[in-house]
Copies of this chain bind each other. A is one copy, B any other.
Amino acid sequence: MKNAMQHTLSQRMTEFEKACRTADLKVTHQRLEVYRELVQAADHPSAEMLYKRILERLHTISLDTVYRTLATLEKHGLITRVQTIESQARFEAKMVCHHHAVCSTCGAITDFTWDSFDETPVPAVLGEWGKVSKRNAILEGICNNCSAKN
């Protein structure tokens, strides 16, 4: 299990380096660490959260660089900015199709897959709107952790 995880991570880091070279982005220590941290995170962290985590390993990184890196990677489609009602931006590096369940109490965002939704055709009337390229479901509710705490 840990090996599988490690393997996947190093695979993703290799793909990342390749993608950087393709996009003419220099493979810097900072970019590697930002990406690595985001791949490993399951909680859709903000720039500040990522910064604090990376700082424990890489004492010289600055918050500005984290912001700049996130913007760059987003622009190149390597990471995604998550749709939220919150004021601070949150990110994810999971690029395979998935959806989000958001706890309205603690704000935690949980990933899940939903094949029957993915297969439901979009309403015909949307042809008048434009060309849909991506679809996401966002469920809202109270997570079991928060219910337990009452």
Contact = CB atoms under 8 A, between A and B. Distances in A.
Contact of A83 (B85, B114, B120, B129): B85
A125 to B, nearest CB: 7
A112 B123 CA distance: 9
Contact of A140 (B136, B143, B144): B136
A28 interface: no
A131 B142 contact: yes
Interface in A80-115: 81-85, 87, 89, 101, 103-104, 110, 112-114
Contact of A132 (B85, B135, B140): B140
Interface of A: 81-85, 87, 89, 101, 103-104, 110, 112-114, 116-117, 120-123, 125-126, 128-147
Given A89-B85, A114-B122, A141 B136 contact: no
Contacts of A129: 101, 110, 112, 141, 143-144
A143 B122 CA distance: 15
Contacts of A130: 101, 103, 141-147
